[in-house]
Structure formats: structure tokens, C-alpha cells
Structure 1
Amino acid sequence: MGEARRAYGVPDCEATWDSVDYLLADWARERPDLDFSPLAVINRMGQVRRKFEQHMAEVFSRHGLTAADFLVVVNLRRAGRPYRLPQSRLMNALGLTSGTVSLRLDRLVKAGIVVREPDPDDRRGSLIRLSDDGLRLFDVIAPEHLSNEDRLLSALSGEERETLAGLLRHLLVSLEPPRPAPDSHLGMSVESAHAARSLRSAVGLSDTAGLLLSAVEAGSPAAAAGLQRGDLIVEVGGAPVHNVGGLAATLAGLGEGEAVELAVLRGDEPHRVVVRQTSA
């Protein structure tokens, strides 16, 4: 038999609770009129991240680095030989301001881990290169860091890790800037489910999960099917669709002449359209 559950999926057996279960149980008692279900995911993600960062910081500190320092080393190493990047590109990869990345690089230059070199393509810029010592340091830390990460995931089986990674991919894709994928979308550009809900609510439409069409390319299979900018795709092939990855995978799998039915809301009026893959 399955384990009994309270509100928000909190188990009946308190011995199995985590810290978030206590929060959810309190709020279910104190404010049953509010929906605290997002907290079950978002608060746990934050708690897990903090615990992971604490354990990972221990590995880096043994080598005189911070996690932020190691990110610089990682980005230079994955760039490939000669393990060098323009400082501006490194700044963007790390999501830092110019001043912050300069301070971090100053510390690593002083430690002999990276080297600043003139950028022949930018007289005001610099190239940041991983030194030989920095490369050896990466080779020492990376196996230790990856083993540590593997231990941190010990509570999950291989299959559970794969499932969690897939769910997190769907969530992250919905939050990152969209990447062009015209072939898999058959002439459609879509907004993520969370953006779609915000945009529809802002104009007084139903707060419905789905993917909002932001553009339909003229002459494309999407246009031929009658899809329009502003349509909300809520089902693909009879299954609810909440993430771009699921839509792209389904559409990319269509062979020439094959079709799939989409359920859409135009405003709040339901429609069903058939999108057919055509030859280029």
C-alpha cells in the first residue's frame, strides 16, 4: 500500500519529514485558504542548493580556492587549448560585472592560476589564460569534486537521478532565454509556461498553463495549420504540454507528411488544429 499523505503531499509518518514538510504542515493549519504547493518545490531546491554548496566549498577550500574561483578555472579549461578566453566573454559566462570579475581574476593571477595577456583584437581588453599550474590544479580538483557530487546524490538511484535531471531541464529551459529551434518548432516561436501565464493574466485571460505562440512564420507548417500569434498550446497529441522541450521533441519526431493534433486556446476559446510536417 502507498504511504498516506496530508496536504501538499506531506507524509503521515512524521519520522520521514524534512524541514519543508514542517513548514507545509504549519501553513496548511494556519492558512488553508492559500496554496503553498510551490513552496514544496522551490523551498526544497533552495535548501538542497545551500547544503550542496556547503559540502562543495569544503573541497575547494582544501586547495585554497572558493567555489567562485573554481568556476573561472572550469570555464577556461572547457574552452579547450590554449585554455584562454577574452575577459569580457569570461565575465558573461560567469554572470558577473566587470569590477567583480576583475577582483576575482586579480586574486587568481596573484596565485599563479591564471595569466592576463593582451588581446590583439581588443586594445582595451585582456585575454585570460589558464596557467600550467592552473591546469594541474584542475586535474587534481576535478576528480575530487565530481566524486563529492556523486556522494551528495547517494540518496537517489541512477534512474531517480535521470528523472530529476529531466524535470530540472524542463524547468531551466522555461527560465533561460529562448534558443532558436525553427526546425523542431515547425515555424512556431513560443513563450514558456510561466511567461504565458503572466502575459495572459495581464490582459484578463484565464491563468492557464501552456505554451504561448509569440510568432508564426508565414508559409510554415504552423501557419498552414491555422495557428496564430497569441494562441496558447495546452495539449500536443492529447497530452498536456507545459514545457518547450516536450513540444520540440514531439514536433521534431514527425516524419515527412506526419501530423499531430494540438489543443489551443485562442483567447479563452478552445480550438483543435492539426500540424503536418512538410518537406523543406
Structure 2
Amino acid sequence: MNDNHTQQHSGTMDQIDRIVTLWQRARPELDFSSTEAIGRVVRLEYFITRRVLQDLARYDLNVGEFDVLAALRRHPPSFQLSPNQLQSMVLVSSGALTNRINRLESRGLVTRAQADHDRRGVIVTLTEEGFNVVEEAVKHHLAAESELAAALTEEEQQQFSALLKKILLTVED
């Protein structure tokens, strides 16, 4: 797809159209069609992150801390996981996870205790306050996602999701 096709389809140029147009002038022998899709995903990620950070700021959380609380919240009824389980869900180094847990524990949103079944193991548990914070934060997070996706019909959202999933399945471990 070239920039003329994209412009005709949407009726106006976005930042990616402008970038691709400049590259096509500078290097007409190269194919920039993948830049149109990938560039838009990267640009959209910027706006999504900015919106998510705005929403999380009201709870004094960053994305990493929210991820830990959300991972614990998704594991009822005990709302607890080992650091290894958490690490596989939030995809960060053990040091980064320890820092997140420390910050959340100092705020009273999680507790850390010795695991019953393993004296060397630790278990991280969502506190009542942590539960309440993540419950509210998830509501705002979902509302923000809905607002951002509202430019697409339900059918378009499903198509978009399927196409993104197709790409992700080729690059995920």
C-alpha cells in the first residue's frame, strides 16, 4: 500500500503518511509499505501509553506496578502468587519485579510472606487496599481502551485484533 492509497482511504494525511512521503522522495527505490502499518502501531502505542499513564497517575501507580496488582487480582480467591509466577506474567527481570513489589508493599497494596509449602519461597498477596485500588484502576483502564478503540466499529475492532494477533504470534516467544 502506498501513501496515495492510504490518503485516499482516510481522506487526510497522518504523521506516518508525511514520514513515508518524505522517505519516498528521498529514497524512491525502497519499499516503505511496511512502515505504514508498523509506524502506525508504534505511534498508537505512544498515545495509548500516554493515556494509560494519565489514568494510573490518579492512583499514584506506574504501568509496572499496575501490572503486578492486576496479575494478583486475576488470581482469586487468594490473590497471591510467587515472585516467579509474577515475573512470567509481567515479563520483567527479577530485580525490576523486586523493586515493584517493594514499592507496592511500602504503600500497603501487597504483602510479602514466607510460603507455607516452601520455607525458602515467598508469596506476594494483594491486600484489601491493593484490591480496592486495582478494582478502580481497571475500570478506568477499560474505559480508556474503549474510548481509544471507539474510532472502529465492533467488526473493525475484531479484524484489527485478529491482524495484530497474527503478527504477535510470529514474534512472541
Fold shared by both chains (TM-score > 0.5): yes
For residue 169 of structure 2, what is the aligned residue in structure 1? Answer: 173
Q: Is the 8 A contact 1:114 1:130 kept in 2?
A: yes
Give 1:31 shift.
Answer: 0.8
Structure 1 gap ranges (5+): 178-280
Q: Is the 8 A contact 2:2 2:33 kept in 1?
A: no
CA RMSD of aligned residues (A): 1.9
| Identity among equivalent pairs (%) | 28
- The structure richer in strand per residue is 1
Structure 2 gap ranges (5+): none
Q: How many residues align?
A: 173
What amino acid maps onto 2:98 in structure 1? S
- The answer to whether 1:160 aligns with 2:149 is no
Q: Is the 8 A contact 1:57 1:66 kept in 2?
A: yes
Question: What is the DSSP-based 3-state SS (H/G/I as helix, E as strand, rest coil) of the residue aligned with 2:121?
Answer: strand
Q: Which has the larger radius of gyration?
A: 1
Question: What is the DSSP-based 3-state SS (H/G/I as helix, E as strand, rest coil) of the residue aligned with 2:120?
Answer: strand
Query: Aligned equivalents of 2:90 and 2:4: distance in 1?
Result: 36
Query: Aligned equivalents of 2:10 and 2:154: distance in 1?
Result: 27
What amino acid maps onto 1:131 in structure 2? T
Determine which structure has greater relative contact order: mean sequence separation of CA pairs < 8 Å that are 6+ residues apart, divided by chain length. 2
For residue 223 of structure 1, what is the aligned residue in structure 2? Answer: none
For residue 27 of structure 1, what is the aligned residue in structure 2? Answer: 23
Query: Aligned equivalents of 1:8 and 1:81: distance in 2?
Result: 54
Give 1:15 shift.
Answer: 6.4
Equivalent of 2:52 in 40, 44, 56: 56
**Deviating 4+ runs (over 2 angstroms):** 5-10, 12-15, 120-125
For residue 44 of structure 1, what is the aligned residue in structure 2? Answer: 40
For residue 12 of structure 2, what is the aligned residue in structure 1? Answer: 16
Query: Aligned equivalents of 2:35 and 2:7: distance in 1?
Result: 16
Give 1:35 shift.
Answer: 1.1
Query: Aligned equivalents of 1:112 and 1:48: distance in 2?
Result: 34
Q: Is the 8 A contact 1:76 1:83 kept in 2?
A: yes
Which runs of structure 2 are paired with 1:213-252 in the superposition (5 Å)?
A: none
Q: Is the 8 A contact 2:111 2:125 kept in 1?
A: yes
- Change in 2 beyond 3 A, CA 1:87/1:170: same
What amino acid maps onto 1:88 in structure 2? N
